[in-house]
Structure 1
Amino acid sequence: MSEHVGHNHGETEVPDDFWESFYAERDQIWSGKPNAMLVREASDLQPGSALELGCGEGADAIWLAAQGWQVTGIDVSGLALERAAKHAEDAGVAEKIQWLKRDLSSWEPATQYDLVSAQFLHSPVELPRNTILAAAARAVAPGGALLVVGHESFPSWSKHPEPHEPLPTAAELAVELGLNAPDWSLETVDSVVRDITGPEGQTGTLTDSVLLARRAG
């Protein structure tokens, strides 16, 4: 879904309405560049079928398609998906990506994929993150991988409300999702500290959790 470290909205807002308004604020919200941890973790994976959850304006899905993946991108915002489709056309990978409008809070996978990616699946409105990530794990095909990158905390200047669920480390998330079971192997369990700049020029650091788990073949 991407990073939300400076927004404070009513918690009762309907996700569909919130995200449509969010993307309508500007013609482009995100940088258009793929998330760095996706690039780090997926560059050496053998391309196959991929599912990108909360794909937003499509940068991660487009990067995966350019690496040879056949990608399905899911997001609740129709406006974001329109932009994603346009960006995919511009990048010459439109035929490798299917875009689906879905509310992830009630989503259940209908098929399985060689890679399921969830990058910064956080929301200022209610989002059952672990329920969604458990469904994401069910969407991983035998021999496939689940990649989850998220915040372990928000910066001090953030107006982000307290999350509805804790922000776990990668190791904690693996346990919560049952990925420490014999039919999974944990290939990356990492915390990555990076420098960030706030909306008013503040500088600080942010810690991200990076979990790459592989289902037994």
Structure 2
Amino acid sequence: MNDRTAEVQRWNEMYAGDEHRWSGQANTALVSETADLPPGRVLDLGSGEGGDALWFAAHGWQVTAVDLSAVALGRARTRSAEAGLDDRIQWRELDLATDFPDGEYDLVSAQFLHSWGDLPREEVLRKAADAVAPGGTLLVESHCGVPAWETDPHPDVHFPTPQEVLDSLGLPDGEWDVQVCAEHERTQTGPDGTDTTRIDSTVKVRRLP
């Protein structure tokens, strides 16, 4: 078993079971940052169980949603079929550590693209920027630390500042407009049902036409 096979298996095991791993709703920061954008083609990186992709599709976007977990994608496909959104979403099983979708997109969304394993996150995000069409937007949401209920933090996972995310993109001068580069608070419900405040960050940049 190679390292990537082990990583894929780990994510599949995380998504296994009777209950959904996440809320099934779109990330609140994503909604607030993209609600005023005209629908077009969107690439959803690390789409998981499909909450963001379904929101995009329901709001008129044509979605390419990628994730390495077949289990998560299976749940997402079931939900999209139930919602009658199959014709607006292309679900792709793809490991961003080794591959990246072709094409240009009006929006590329990377929501909490963190991993326990050896994910070349900065490289992936640079490819994400390259995939943005002229006039399009790249939106990167990141955690700034582990949640309060985490008793076994993953020491190898680096949580970058928003400026570190922006700098890592290596955007050429004069070709991009930096619209947001900031931390923000978010309320999240923990495993015991208690709400806690987390610090996340938003980096939103627009490629100039």
Output the TM-score relative to the length of structure 1.
Answer: 0.88
Whole-Å separation in 2 of the counterparts to 1:46 and 1:127 = 31
Task: Calculate the aligned-residue CA RMSD, in Å.
Answer: 1.9
Which of the residues 124, 136, 144 maps onto 1:152? 144
1:108 is displaced (CA, Å) by 2.7
The match for 2:118 is: 126
Task: Please give the alpha-carbon distance, in whole angstroms, between the structure 2 residues aligned to 1:105 and 1:140.
Answer: 19
Distance in 1, Cα, partners of 2:39 & 2:175? 22
Which 5+ residue runs of structure 1 have no aligned equivalent? 1-10
Equivalent residue for 1:31, pick from 16, 20, 23: 23
The letter for the 2-side match of 1:21 is: E
Q: Which runs of 4+ in 1 moved over 3 A?
A: 195-198, 200-204
Counterparts of 1:135 and 1:149 in 2: how far apart (Å)?
A: 16
1:109 & 1:177 partners in 2: Cα distance?
A: 18
Structure 1 residues 38 and 168 mapped into 2: Cα distance closer, same or farther (>3 Å)?
same
Q: Structure 2: how far apart are the matches of 1:163 and 1:26?
A: 29
Question: Which range moved further: 21-30 or 61-70?
Answer: 21-30
The answer for the alignment partner of 2:61 in structure 1 is 69
Give the 3-state SS of the residue equivalent to 1:105 in structure 2.
coil
TM superposition shift of 1:180: 6.4
Question: 5+ unaligned residues in a row in structure 2: which ranges?
Answer: none
Q: Secondary structure at the match of 1:25?
A: coil
Corresponding position: 1:195 with 2:190:
no
Of 126, 129, 134, which residue of structure 2 is paired with 1:137? 129
- The number of aligned residues is 206
Asked if structure 1 preserves the Cα contact closer than 8 Å seen for 2:185 and 2:200, the reply is yes
Aligned amino acid, residue 174 of structure 1: L
Comparing 111-120 and 173-182, the one that deviates more: 173-182
CA distance in 1, matches of 2:156, 2:187: 22
Distance of aligned partners of 1:27 and 1:204 in 2 relative to their CA distance in 1, 3 Å threshold: closer
The Cα of 1:176 is off from its aligned counterpart by 1.4
- Structure scoring higher RCO (CA < 8 A, sep ≥ 6) equals 1
Letter in 1 for 2:121: R
Whether contact under 8 Å (2:44, 2:66) holds in the other structure is yes
Counterpart secondary structure, 1:39: helix
Q: Deviations over 1:28-51 (max 9, x none)?
A: 111111100110001000110000
Alignment of 1:92-131 (within 5 A): 92-131=84-123
User: Does residue 83 of the first structure (1) align with residue 97 of the second (2)?
Assistant: no
Residue number among 187, 190, 204 corresponding to 1:212 in the alignment: 204
Distance 1:96 1:201 in 2: 34
2:154 — aligned with what? 161
Paired residue type of 1:97: I
Whole-Å separation in 1 of the counterparts to 2:75 and 2:202: 27
Provide TM-score, normalisation by structure 2. 0.91
Deviations 1:146-194 (A, max 9, x none): 0000101113441231234x32222221111113632111111121112
Percent identity of paired positions between Structure 1 and Structure 2: 44
Distance 1:135 1:189 in 2: 19
Alignment partners' CA distance in 2, 1:96 and 1:13: 30
What is the aligned partner in structure 1 of residue 166 from structure 2?
Answer: 174
| 2:94–2:100 CA contact under 8 A, matched in 1 | no
Write the deviation string for residues 99-132 of structure 1: whole angstroms up to 9, x where unpaired: 0000110123311100000111112233221111
